[in-house]
């Protein structure tokens, strides 16, 4: 390892005197080759008492024993090539942001699961708090670049060395009106023969699949196809190819890579080659926390369910986990010909694996699959369950079946385990918006309504602080805030009470779920699960969960759903989007249109009255530890700078 910092060099000298005491490390991480690539990072900015940060980047090399009980569940692990020690090798990109003066760090790893390989150094609050921020590549079907975070995982082969081939399914929705389109396949086809593939198109989910003639499509190479898009189908049509693929990646090793790299950073003084742990000079970490956002949150739920929060020595990997905007789903990762980037929506990717029971952290019986299970079953058996904060936005209620976190398959209330808190941020699209008064586009895109601007990240930051305190000193986080059946805030989607707003279509459209048998395609469907949604107030704004100050003091209706417009599978869900439906400025306008919602002038007699109401709502969330003071100040400042009610 090449480390330029003086403290790390001195640490290496110290290591030499105690190397005989270092554990063997079972060579899970055989080598970690990192170097400082930016010091100081972040333009030299100082972060509170922690000071400046530097960025390290490189590759961790690891190997796993395929016969270890903790690895046996990795699909195709026994078909991966073995080294001379009978181990399966992999490597993965690692990026670390650490304080330049490691004596000032809080001795906690804050692991951010990469989303589709993207680098994410995290919010500034993490650096102000003194974390070492770590990212480890896990998604094995990505192409490596100089900047992304990816693993390098082996290809499975038959025992005689021949290629493994099998069926794979790809889906494409182009959302444009081009006549010819091209798309990449996740895996290479085993045969450039159209007769060995089935290519269909349908207008929307539930519509009949129409077989494409051979003249309508072709392979441009073994990883890419071209489609002459047929007439009669709009820009939202679903194109689906089932083909014979080859060379499956041992994708489940991505879970092991995350497990083993974090375990090494937590517990080992050196790697298998004797190179020093890059965090060792500040004292080995006391704890580790992981956050995963969207796809990455689904990864954490899957990692937990599959038992990878236990390392090969039986120790806990993450003391705290924060799956964010993951809904009730897991991932399509630990499968032959898996595709981790898929996420199951109402219109897109609806039939891909990764969304089946279990859904919640509690252990419950599912009469539809006739199974009893829960996300914590394996970690409970090994005593390696973390403390968990699960946060979703309102989009996850409508689009990701979040109700199944707090209900059973029949829509009945389920209590969460003591180590789990759940929060639902009302009024937000997937990932949240830039803020109500931020500069943003007024274009609806392929959706019917404007997108919801309600921010989510501000509340997520407060939950990060709460999780850290819960893990480190046992401070209880705020009680769960999630709509529930007993409170009457979780109801049938068509019965949420949405108002009749002129020129707005509300259908109660949500992402339904049935039990799917993925041994065939299209999957054979069994019984349906009850998916519920959040009851709303007379303005159409959700009542349950955490209500952002801009939702408590609204200037419009903000939802977690939106619908596709004409020309793009009209009426289907507009994936990831929420809706923003502004209030009329004055009473006369809303009365003329028949809008039942009060106008701005009827709500806020003056601009100061509006700002004061926002400030009071922000202060309440700060007192409840669901908003940091710095974020409350920013929300109030934007309200003050706005034009709301200035002309009243």
pTM score, two decimals? 0.95
pLDDT (0 to 100) of residue 16: 34
Q: Find the range with the poorest average confidence among 10-19, 103-112, 217-226.
A: 10-19
SS3 467: helix
Closest CA to 62 of 83, 37, 79: 83
Please provide residue 40's backbone torsions phi and psi, each rounded to the nearest 5 degrees: -80, 155
Q: Is the peptide bond before 40 cis (omega within 30 degrees of 0)?
A: yes
SS (H, E, C) 373-424: ECCCHHHHHHCCCCEEEEEEEHHHHHHCCHHHHCECCCCCECCCCCCEEEEE
pLDDT (0 to 100) of residue 520: 86
Please provide the average confidence, as pLDDT, over all residues in the chain. Answer: 94
pLDDT (0 to 100) of residue 85: 95
Band of pLDDT at residue 9, cut at 50, 70 and 90: very low
Proportion of the chain in helix, strand, coil states, percent, rounded to 5: 25, 25, 50
Write the DSSP string, 261-323.
HHHHHHH-SB-TTSPBPTTGGG---SEEEEEEETHHHHHHHHHHHTTTTB-TTS-BS-SEEEE
Express each pLDDT in 529-549 by its tens digit. 999 999 999 999 999 999 999
Delimit the domains of the chain by residue range. 1-154+250-285, 165-246
Give Cβ neighbours of residue 449 (< 8 Å, ≥ 6 apart): 504, 562, 563, 579, 580, 581
Q: What is the mean pLDDT of residues 163-184?
A: 97
Question: Over 50: is that where the pLDDT of 3 sits?
Answer: no
CB 516 within 8 A of CB 351: yes
- Give the CA count within 13 Å in the CB-facing half-sphere of 46: 5
CB 182 within 8 A of CB 225: yes
CB 187 within 8 A of CB 155: no
Express each pLDDT in 456-479 by its tens digit. 999 999 999 999 999 999 999 999
- What is the distance between the alpha carbons of residues 576 and 428, in angstroms, rounded to a whole number? 10
Paired tokens of 610:
């509006």
- What is the distance between the alpha carbons of residues 49 and 299, in angstroms, rounded to a whole number? 33
- What is the distance between the alpha carbons of residues 547 and 424, in angstroms, rounded to a whole number? 9
């Amino acid at each position: 390892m090449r480390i330029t910092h003086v403290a790390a060099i001195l640490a290496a000298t110290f290591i030499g005197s105690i190397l005989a005491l270092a554990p063997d490390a079972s060579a899970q991480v055989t080598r970690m080759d990192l170097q400082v690539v930016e010091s100081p990072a972040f333009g030299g900015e100082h972060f509170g008492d922690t000071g400046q940060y530097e960025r390290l980047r490189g590759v961790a090399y690891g190997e796993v024993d395929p016969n270890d009980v903790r690895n046996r569940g990795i699909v195709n692990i026994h078909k991966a090539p073995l080294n001379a020690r009978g181990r399966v090798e992999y490597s993965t990109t690692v990026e670390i942001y650490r304080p330049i003066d490691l004596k000032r760090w809080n001795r906690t790893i804050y692991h951010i699961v990469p989303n589709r390989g993207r680098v994410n150094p995290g919010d500034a609050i993490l650096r102000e708090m003194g974390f070492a921020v770590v990212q480890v590549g896990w998604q094995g079907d990505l192409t490596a670049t100089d900047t992304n975070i990816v693993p390098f995982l082996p290809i499975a082969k038959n025992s005689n060395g021949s290629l493994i081939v099998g069926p794979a399914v790809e889906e494409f929705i182009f959302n444009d009106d081009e006549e010819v389109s091209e798309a990449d396949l996740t895996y290479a086809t085993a045969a450039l023969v159209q007769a060995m593939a089935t290519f269909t198109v349908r207008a929307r989910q539930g519509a009949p699949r129409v077989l494409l003639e051979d003249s309508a499509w072709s392979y441009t190479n073994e990883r890419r196809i071209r489609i002459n898009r047929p007439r009669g189908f709009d820009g939202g049509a679903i194109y689906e190819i089932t083909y014979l693929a080859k060379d499956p990646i041992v994708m489940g090793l991505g879970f092991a890579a995350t497990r083993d790299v974090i375990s090494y950073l937590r517990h080992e003084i050196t790697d298998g080659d004797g190179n020093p742990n890059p965090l060792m000079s500040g004292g080995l970490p006391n704890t580790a926390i992981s956050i995963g956002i969207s796809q990455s949150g689904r990864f954490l739920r899957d990692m937990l369910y599959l038992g990878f929060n236990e390392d090969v020595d039986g120790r806990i990997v993450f003391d705290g986990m924060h799956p964010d905007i993951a809904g009730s789903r897991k991932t399509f990762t630990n499968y032959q010909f898996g595709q981790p980037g898929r996420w199951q929506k109402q219109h897109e990717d609806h039939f891909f694996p990764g969304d089946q029971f279990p859904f919640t952290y509690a252990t419950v019986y599912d009469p539809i699959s006739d199974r009893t299970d829960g996300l914590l079953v394996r970690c409970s058996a090994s005593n390696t369950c973390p403390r968990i904060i699960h946060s979703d936005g309102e989009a996850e209620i409508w689009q990701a079946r979040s109700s199944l976190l707090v209900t059973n398959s029949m829509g009945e209330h389920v209590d969460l385990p003591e180590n789990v808190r759940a929060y639902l941020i009302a009024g937000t699209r997937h990932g949240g918006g830039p803020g109500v008064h931020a500069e943003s586009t007024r274009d609806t895109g392929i959706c019917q309504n404007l997108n919801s601007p309600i921010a989510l990240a501000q509340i997520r930051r407060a939950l990060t602080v709460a999780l850290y305190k819960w893990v480190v000193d046992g401070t209880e986080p705020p009680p769960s805030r999630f709509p529930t059946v007993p409170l009457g805030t979780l109801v049938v989607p068509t019965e949420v009470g949405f108002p009749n707003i002129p020129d707005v279509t509300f259908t109660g459209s949500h992402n339904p779920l049935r039990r799917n048998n993925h041994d065939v395609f299209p999957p054979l469907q069994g019984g349906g699960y009850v998916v519920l949604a959040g009851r709303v107030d007379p303005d159409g704004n959700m009542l349950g969960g955490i209500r952002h100050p801009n939702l408590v003091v609204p200037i419009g209706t903000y939802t977690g759903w939106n619908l596709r417009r004409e020309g793009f599978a009209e009426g289907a869900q507009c994936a990831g989007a929420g809706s923003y439906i502004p209030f009329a400025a004055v009473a006369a306008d809303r009365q003329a249109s028949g809008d039942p919602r009060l106008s701005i002038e009827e709500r806020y007699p003056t601009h100061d009255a509006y700002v004061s109401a926002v400030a009071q709502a922000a202060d309440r969330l700060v007192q409840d530890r669901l908003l940091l003071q710095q974020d409350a100040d920013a929300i109030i400042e934007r309200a003050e700078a706005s034009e709301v009610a200035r002309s009243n």
